Amino acid sequence: MKSFCADLKKNPFTAITGVNTLFIGLMNQEVFKQLDFKGLKLALGVEWPFKML
């Protein structure tokens, strides 16, 4: 998670997608809280129940 946040800090991004658990994990990282979101145009989160086989 920390290395992913470091990559986001080095590389400006305009969109981010993921599941809710990813975004919760990111929000718990101090580095993520310090990112520059000026260029962000789209944030898409998806979550759905799944059936255990």
- For residue 52, being part of any structural domain is answered with no
pTM of this structure: 0.74
Range of the domain at 16: 2-46
Per DSSP, the chain holds a count of helices (H) and strands (E) of 3, 2
- For residue 53, being part of any structural domain is answered with no
- For residue 39, being part of any structural domain is answered with yes
Closest CA to 47 of 17, 25, 4: 17
- For residue 25, being part of any structural domain is answered with yes
- For residue 33, being part of any structural domain is answered with yes
Number of domains in the chain: 1
Write out pLDDT tens, residues 1-53. Answer: 899 999 999 998 999 999 888 999 999 999 999 999 999 999 999 887 777 66
Q: Cα separation of 36 and 3, whole Å?
A: 16
Q: Cα separation of 13 and 36, whole Å?
A: 9
DSSP H helices in the chain: 2-10, 20-27, 30-33
- For residue 41, being part of any structural domain is answered with yes
- For residue 51, being part of any structural domain is answered with no
